[in-house]
C-alpha cells in the first residue's frame, strides 16, 4: 500500500470512529480544482472526496464547507445524530 492509499484509509477509519453528531474536517483546499490535477496527491483527494460524496448520498453524513480564503475551503463531514 502506498502513502496515498494509507491517507485514504486513515481518513475513512477516522470517519468510521465518529459518534453520532460528531464532525471531522476531511480536506482543506479546493477539491474541484485539486482533484483534476495529474498527480498522486490529486488521486488521493479524489478518492477521499468520492468516499464522502457517496456517504452523503447514502445519508451516512452531512457535508458542509466553509470558505477560508479565495480558493481555500474547509470540507467537513458530520454524522447524523
Place of cell 447514502: 58
Reported in sequence order, the residue ranges of 6-61 that DSSP labels E, i.e. its strands, are: 23-29
Q: At what angle do helices 40-57 and 3-17 cross, to 10 degrees?
A: 20
Q: What is the mean pLDDT of the chain?
A: 95
> Residue 17 — pLDDT band, cuts 50, 70, 90?
very high
Average pLDDT over residues 24-33: 96
For the four alpha carbons of 24, 29, 34 and 40, in that order, the dihedral sign comes to negative
Residue ranges making up the domain that contains 9: 3-78
Per-residue model confidence (pLDDT) at position 58: 98
Count structural domains, the chain: 1
Is the pLDDT reported for residue 1 higher than 80? no
Radius of gyration of the chain (CA): 13
Give residue-wise pLDDT tens across range 31-59: 999 988 888 889 999 999 999 999 999 99
Amino acid at each position: 500500500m502506498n502513502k496515498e492509499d494509507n491517507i485514504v484509509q486513515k481518513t475513512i477509519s477516522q470517519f468510521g470512529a465518529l459518534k453520532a453528531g460528531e464532525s471531522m474536517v476531511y480536506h482543506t483546499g479546493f477539491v474541484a480544482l485539486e482533484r483534476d490535477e495529474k498527480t498522486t496527491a490529486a488521486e488521493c483527494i479524489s478518492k477521499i472526496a468520492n468516499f464522502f460524496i457517496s456517504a452523503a448520498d447514502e445519508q451516512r453524513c452531512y457535508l458542509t464547507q466553509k470558505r477560508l480564503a479565495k480558493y481555500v475551503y474547509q470540507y467537513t463531514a458530520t454524522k447524523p445524530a
